[in-house]
């Protein structure tokens, strides 16, 4: 209850204060980042509960996804500040980024934190090579995904993302094609 109240208060404060459209976009993507992290944590817990023999595989996949989520969040923040046209804010938040390998390399070269996340993701990719995911894929297909728990969890995630996609960061004061609306 307290955790929910704090998040609700933060969201209310974030969007009631006058903020620039750029700040709003960063906050919107941060909300998406938090939803993704929550989804990854809850999904991993469900997998481990329903298929305990796949715990190691589920944990490494979760860790890899969490690093990717953080890396994408940082990319959005950096790009909105320096190259806003590279972030497709007219699309749903899950489609804001479509970076090439060279664009990701440029971000890593320009930002030490992004570089660290890139290196960590590469380490986790290497570590994944030591796992056989055949049993995990079968468990996902046969046990986890058909379960009511999974459908509820996924439905809650989709509803949260849909709510985030409804956040409007441009108001009537924003100019469009050179004229005020």
pLDDT in tens, 21-39: 889 999 999 999 999 999 9
Whether 172 is in a domain gets the answer no
Whether 122 is in a domain gets the answer yes
Whether 95 is in a domain gets the answer yes
Give the span between the Cα atoms of 76 and 169, in whole angstroms: 15
Whether 174 is in a domain gets the answer no
pLDDT higher at 107 or 18: 107
Q: Is the pLDDT of residue 171 over 80?
A: no
The radius of gyration computed from the CA coordinates of the chain, to the nearest angstrom, equals: 19
Q: Is the pLDDT of residue 6 over 60?
A: no
Dihedral pair phi/psi, residue 108, rounded to 5°: -65, -35
Report how many domains make up the chain: 1
pLDDT tens digits, one per residue of 83-136 = 999 999 999 999 999 999 999 999 999 999 999 999 999 999 999 999 999 999
Whether 27 is in a domain gets the answer yes
Domain membership of residue 65 as a residue range: 20-164
| Token code pair at residue 130 | 């030591």
């Amino acid at each position: 209850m307290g955790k929910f109240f704090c998040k609700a208060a933060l969201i209310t404060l974030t969007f009631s204060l006058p903020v620039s459209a750029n700040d709003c976009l960063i906050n919107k993507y941060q909300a998406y980042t938090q939803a993704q992290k929550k989804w990854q944590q809850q999904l991993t817990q469900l997998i481990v509960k329903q298929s305990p023999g796949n715990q190691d595989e589920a944990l490494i996949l979760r860790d890899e996804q969490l690093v990717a989520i953080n890396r994408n969040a940082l990319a959005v923040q950096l790009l909105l500040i320096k190259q806003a046209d590279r972030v497709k804010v007219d699309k749903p938040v899950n489609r804001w980024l479509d970076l090439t390998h060279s664009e990701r390399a440029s971000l890593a070269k320009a930002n030490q934190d992004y570089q660290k996340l890139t290196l960590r993701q590469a380490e986790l990719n290497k570590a994944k090579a030591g796992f056989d995911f055949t049993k995990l894929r079968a468990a996902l297909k046969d046990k986890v995904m058909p379960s009511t728990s999974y459908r509820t969890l996924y439905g809650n995630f989709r509803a949260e993302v849909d709510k985030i996609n409804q956040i409007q960061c441009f108001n009537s004061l924003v100019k469009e094609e050179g004229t005020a609306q």
